[in-house]
Amino acid sequence: MRQETTPILKSRHVEMLVISTLAIIGSFVLEVGPSGCVHLSGMPFCQVPQTCFSQDIFGVSCPGCGLTRSFIHLADFNLQASLQIHRLGWLFFIVTLAQIPYRTFALRHEGSLLMSNAGGKMFGNLLIAMLIINWLIGMLFYKTIGGN
């Protein structure tokens, strides 16, 4: 599918490529400690700070809470631990991983996209809806506050 590449669209591809690459690399260089805190591998004293403003301000986890730890468990090939942390972690890991070749392709072959902008927005909205529905199911049926 050919589409004119605007500077804004090109910038978006670069942004998503960088974020996705960092997320995947982070999955391999971080680990989850016994207390559930995330830290650099082999350096438990070098913890990553909590980043959920909803948890910090309201004491309630957001729909995405647990995705970082879920990604880390998936990088360690521990699907069971990943699913316990966040039921959709595996899906978001695959989508994040797929961004790397997709965005690289889009940048190298300007104007060639596998999906239209409207399709991409619809896919993004579907993922957000899935996160929210998953979170609500956890709140209603599992009496959890987090993303699981």
Please measure the distance between the N-terminal and C-terminal CA atoms of the chain and give it in whole angstroms.
37
pLDDT at 7 over 60: yes
pLDDT interval class at 111 (50, 70, 90): low
pLDDT at 120 over 90: no
Please tell me which residue, 87 or 50, carries the higher pLDDT value. Answer: 87
Q: DSSP letters of 41-66? A: TTEEEEEPPP--HHHHHHS---TTTT
Burial class (CB in 10 A: 0-12, 13-18, 19+), 67: buried
Beta pairing partners, 2: 112
Cα torsion 124, 130, 133, 136: sign: negative
Predicted model pTM:
0.84
Mean pLDDT for the chain?
Answer: 87
